[in-house]
């Protein structure tokens, strides 16, 4: 176990490049099981969740090799076993993604209950409804889930929610299903689009990428490919928020402008100005952060929803940013009833926040934050507390930083190179 010791109040300056998207890398790793040929993935973040996914593949008999800092070659081989390792699966929520890949490849998958962040109920019903529509059967027990579907058949499917991982599972299973599969109400986040692009390189026939209606024509088999993971727009949003609250001038390189439209709109409502400079996002320093009221001086509301709306994974970041903005704003987290609990830590640091209920908080700024002893409850809340500590007066200690490491590659080294003071130490 490790902790961060942070000296707050320092301005950062320079250029930084975000890591590859965790949320694209994980389904793409699961998709390597769709073929026995070699798959090369580039711009893969070296984070804990990626390591676990690779260990699951190796446990099934596959092989992988890091051939560069962020380049990994994966070859699943024959995949003779269909039962996934329970100890590994409980470490990562994304282990659920092996269901679709294993159904497509082997027609069978015994999956232990997946792990992941404790941010509220994370229903799996949409996965089950979607896969059973292709002809799969699912037995549920205390040991987990047994997916069986040796003869998957395409169908027209309307998903009961635009679930990212359920869409990804359905995409992988449908690549080899007989006939045509039409997915309505499909998730279309950038990382879902990235998985679709990888699957097309492997021979899948997909139309409607980037929309909520996706059509697949089943094929008899897929082959290997070389695919580059896109930049993590969630890390980009985190870095932009950090720059704003510390008064830092930062250039975030290698961004995809189309992925940042709603993020920039929401940040602008908090007074955070950004601009594109070719393929970089520039955040000016020393901004006067003022929350923009709605018409007739109404208190503005920021909420999350499926893409292209504001992503739930940036709600905790935006809340932390709002503590450093003059004005009042209501945040409405619609998706997870446990995501807001981290605001107790911000309140302990000096933030003025009214916790209305598990889904809503009101932030009144600007507040002077002070160093504190904190603990990271999940990936995004952990990054939010790190941002708060960097703009706070005094020294902060954050425990359980493995949660931050699950989503942000070498974040301490990356920020220290820009002028931050973050020391990683073992926990006594």
Annotate 217-248 with b (16+ C-beta within 10 A) or e (fewer).
ebeeebebbebbbbbbbbbbbbbbbbbbbbbb
User: Which residues pair with residue 83 across a beta bridge?
Assistant: 110
Distance between CA atoms of residues 344 and 255, nearest Å: 33
Does residue 214 contact residue 130 with C-beta atoms inside 8 Å?
Answer: no
> Angle 306-311-315 (CA atoms, 0-180°, nearest 5)?
135
Q: Which residues are catalytic?
A: 117
Nearest Cα residue to 308 out of 188, 142, 202, 205: 188
User: Which residues pair with residue 72 across a beta bridge?
Assistant: 41, 66
Q: How far is CA 46 from the centre of its chain?
A: 14
Distance between CA atoms of residues 193 and 182, nearest Å: 16
Distance between CA atoms of residues 333 and 359, nearest Å: 5
Nearest Cα residue to 61 out of 33, 23, 30, 93: 33
Does residue 118 contact residue 338 with C-beta atoms inside 8 Å?
Answer: yes
Burial class (CB in 10 A: 0-12, 13-18, 19+), 421: middle
Q: What is the DSSP string of 46-73?
A: --HHHHHHHHHHHHTT-EEEEEETTEEE
Nearest Cα residue to 177 out of 100, 81, 96, 80: 100
Distance between CA atoms of residues 280 and 195, nearest Å: 23
């Amino acid at each position: 176990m490790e902790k961060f010791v942070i000296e707050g109040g320092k301005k950062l300056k320079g250029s930084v490049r975000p890591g590859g998207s965790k949320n694209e890398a994980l389904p793409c790793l699961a998709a390597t099981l769709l073929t026995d040929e070699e798959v090369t993935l580039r711009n893969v973040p070296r984070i804990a969740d990626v390591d676990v996914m690779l260990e699951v593949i190796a446990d099934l008999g596959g092989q992988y090799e890091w051939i560069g800092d962020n380049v990994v070659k994966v070859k699943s081989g024959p995949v003779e076993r269909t039962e996934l390792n329970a100890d590994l699966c409980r470490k990562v929520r994304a282990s659920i993604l092996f269901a679709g890949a294993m159904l497509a490849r082997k027609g069978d998958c015994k999956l232990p209950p997946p792990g992941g962040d404790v941010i509220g109920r994370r229903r799996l019903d949409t996965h089950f409804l979607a896969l059973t529509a292709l002809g799969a059967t699912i037995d549920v027990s205390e040991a987990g889930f047994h997916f069986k579907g040796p003869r998957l058949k395409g169908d027209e499917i309307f998903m009961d929610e635009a679930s990212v991982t359920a869409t990804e599972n359905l995409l992988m299973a449908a690549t080899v299903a007989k006939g045509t599969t039409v997915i309505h109400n499909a998730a279309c986040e950038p990382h879902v689009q990235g998985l679709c692009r990888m699957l097309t390189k492997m021979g899948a026939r997909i139309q409607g990428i980037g929309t909520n209606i996706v059509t697949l024509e089943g094929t008899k088999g897929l082959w290997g490919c070389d695919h580059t993971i896109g930049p993590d727009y969630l890390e980009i949003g985190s870095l932009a928020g950090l720059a704003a609250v510390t008064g830092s001038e930062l250039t975030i390189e290698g961004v995809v402008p189309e992925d940042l439209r709603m993020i920039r709109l929401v940040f602008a409502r908090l007074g955070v100005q950004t601009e594109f400079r070719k393929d970089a996002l520039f955040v000016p320093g020393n901004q006067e952060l003022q929350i923009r009221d709605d018409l007739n001086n109404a208190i503005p509301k920021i909420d999350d929803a499926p893409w292209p709306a504001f992503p739930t994974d940036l709600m905790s970041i935006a809340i932390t940013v709002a503590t450093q903005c003059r004005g009042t704003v209501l945040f409405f987290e619609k998706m997870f009833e446990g995501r807001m609990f981290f605001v107790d830590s911000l309140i302990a640091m000096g933030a003025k926040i009214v916790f209305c209920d598990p889904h809503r908080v009101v932030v009144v700024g600007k507040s002077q934050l002070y160093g504190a002893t904190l603990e990271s409850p999940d990936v995004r809340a952990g990054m939010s507390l790190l941002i708060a500590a960097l703009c706070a007066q005094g020294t902060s200690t954050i425990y359980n930083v493995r949660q931050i490491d699950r989503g942000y590659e070498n974040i301490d080294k990356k920020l220290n190179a820009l002028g931050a003071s973050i020391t990683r130490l073992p926990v006594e």
